[in-house]
Amino acid sequence: MDEKLRQMIEKGNVAAYLKQTGEAFTLSGKVVEGNKVGRALGYPTANLRTDDISTELPAQGVYIARVKHNGSWYRAMVNIGIRPTLDMDHVTIEAHLFDFNQDIYGQGIRIAFLDRIRDEMRFNSLAELKVQLDKDAKLSKRLLQQVKWS
């Protein structure tokens, strides 16, 4: 990847990367168990363990994406970050797939990042986080309807 494209990814500008290359920036890996807080808030996530930990990661934040599992693409919102509300300190990649309800632990997925919708934030409570997740989901679904995807 050339330096200009690498900087786009580092800054989270995945939409510019898509426009420049004609392809979405993707990450692939296996789904691993998380701490199940997303599930408790009504937003279960597929936690990605990347195949290649040296892979460039987009900037921390919330993204709209498509996630491929078993040959099918699903609409998703993805968080990359340390989850400051939970006082975590290691970066995770968590994808909430819309209209999806399967146990996929140990299975491979591919995340295609389409756009960044906000920075990662600390909330005072899980209730505040839930309110923001509801807003993120609504915005993500609206934006994903506008994305042409084959």
Q: DSSP state, 51?
A: S
Structure tokens at 18: 């898509």
Tell me the Ramachandran region of residue 74: left when phi exceeds 0, alpha when psi lies from -120 to 50, beta otherwise.
beta
Structural domain span for residue 86: 3-146
Q: What is the pLDDT of residue 26?
A: 94
Residue-wise pLDDT tens digits, 90-113: 788 999 999 999 999 999 999 999
CATH number where 97 lies: 2.40.30.30
Cβ(60)–Cβ(119) under 8 Å? yes
Beta strands in 1-150 (DSSP E): 25-32, 46-50, 61-69, 72-81, 92-97, 108-118
Residue-wise pLDDT tens digits, 9-21: 999 999 999 999 9
Residue-wise pLDDT tens digits, 16-49: 999 999 999 999 999 998 888 888 899 999 999 8
C-alpha gyration radius of the chain: 14
pTM (2 d.p.): 0.92
pLDDT at 82 over 90: no
Beta-carbon contacts of 52 under 8 Å, excluding residues fewer than 6 positions away, are: none
Domain count, the chain: 1
